[in-house]
Amino acid sequence: FQGIFVLGLPYALLHSGYSGLFLIILAAALCCYTGKILIACLYEENEDGQLIRVRDTYEDIANASCKKLSPKLGGIVVNVTQVMELIMTCILYLVVSGNLLSHSFPYVPVTEKTWSVIAFVTLLPCVFIKTLKIVSKLSQLCSLVHFIIILVVMTYCLTQIHQWSWAKFRLSIEFEDFLVSVGVIIFSYTSQIFLPTLEGNMKNPGEFRCMLNWTHFFACVLKTTFALTAFLTWGEETKEVITDNLPSFLQTLVNLCLLTKALLSYPLPFFAATEIVCACISRGNHSNYRSPLFSLGVRGSFLLLTLLMAMFIPHFALLMGLTGSVTGAAMTFLLPSLFHLKLKYKKLSFLEKCADISVFILGFLCSIAGIVCSIKGLL
């Protein structure tokens, strides 16, 4: 949850004022709820009333929900959506890495795209990642680097506490700017793509709901504290990425930390995307598709694809926003609530049905608003 998006939260507060603080809390509650209902769809009660895990992936949930319409339609839609979002995330990390390197070493006569290729070379070992355990170790290091970045920014903000003023908060907000803030805040919590795999790999899956509650609670507290202290420090001068507000002597240090974080973040979406593709291709009885060499080929192809797209896509940020509005809202709000209603309708209380319908409508509105803003920007 504490991804690079967090660095845009102070900017989101600039455009959403006091409502932004409420949105950070609301988004945590909604994303925690959709995570729980998504995992609930993996289970069914047996004859003794015990919950048994009968599905393993997001795809299995989708296929079960769309069984009457078409046995594999739901799975195809979910897999395409997941792979699109994961690939775009990987590409973003490469673009960000090139950008950070060019800003950290401006005196080196190398273009931003060349820096992206240099960053790509450090990611080549990703083709040998076979288990989630290795990814989790890298993600742990990523979290450590992230806390260092947050600590540096917040320490500097606390040295400027004498300049803080609540008058910096806006009371009136512009609707279009507000929608951008909603997107940044909501998508800083998204994790639904990884949850079925994560829950299936837990030593004690019974602790999943408790884990989800605590992680969302702490993420919410940290996001609110960070966004608030940074915004109170810079006010109207708050930039899109808050590290750009730091004095130059701190900026280089933080940029290098951000580069490390981006490179350590890459393996998780990369591993998830390649696992989905390998699982889809090897579903038949072809033994060739299950060989280690085939998996290596898929991972190598994906790695190369992310580099090529990072090099040649123009207006990447706007295309990322458009993809995020479609895939992010769908995977986080629309599909979990829809599948939960479809698979558990008879067992849900009236309030639970209302909650699912409300989340679906909210997700739909967020998606439409994001698409309109992104297309307008592209045009």
Kindly indicate whether the domain formed by 5-378 is annotated with CATH number 3.40.50.1100.
no
Dihedral over alpha carbons 266, 144, 217, 33 (to 10 degrees): 20
Would you say the pTM of this structure is higher than 0.85?
no
Q: What is the DSSP string of 281-331?
A: HTTSS-GGGGSHHHHHHHHHHHHHHHHHHHHH-SSHHHHHHHHIIIIIHII
Taking only the tens place, the pLDDT of each residue in 335-360 is 999 999 999 998 999 999 999 999 99
36-64 residue pLDDT tens: 999 999 999 888 888 899 998 888 999 99
Q: Which residue reads 């940290």 in tokens?
A: 222
The predicted structure's pLDDT at residue 284 = 59
Dmax over Cα atoms in the chain, in whole Å?
A: 70
Torsion of CA 34, 69, 86, 271, to 10 degrees: 100
> Helices 208-234 and 132-159: crossing angle, nearest 10°?
30
What number of other Cβ atoms are within 10 A of residue 223's Cβ? 25
- Tell me which residues of the chain have a pLDDT lower than 50: none
Task: Characterize 81-91 residue by residue with b for buried, 16 or more Cβ atoms within 10 angstroms of its Cβ, and e for exposed.
Answer: bbbebbbbbbb
Query: Which one-letter DSSP state was computed for residue 66?
Result: T
Distance CA 118, CA 205 (A): 40
At 210 the pLDDT is 96
